[in-house]
Amino acid sequence: MPIIQMNMVEGRTSEQKAAVAKAVTDAVVETLNVPAKSVRIMIVDLKKDGFYVAGDLSAGASAHQESDDALADASAS
């Protein structure tokens, strides 16, 4: 039984979380040849002030903003 934990900075919608859970489940089913019902995914929302890069909160915030920008670009396509 594959168990996947995803840590993301808070702010994603329930629909976005469901979509990524479905995509990851599909990938695990295909690559590990397991039934979808055996795949477990846990999504952990991290507070924006709890994500640091190299000990720097602003770097974590910058990485989060870049991720949000990439998601917005992908949604617009």
Close Cβ partners of 23 (under 8 Å, ≥ 6 residues apart): none
- Of 1, 2, 15, 73, the catalytic one is 2
DSSP count for the chain of H helices, then E strands: 2, 2
- What is the token pair recorded at 38? 């055996």
Asked if 35 is an active-site residue, the reply is no
Give the SS3 label for residue 3. strand
Point out the residues that are catalytic. Answer: 2
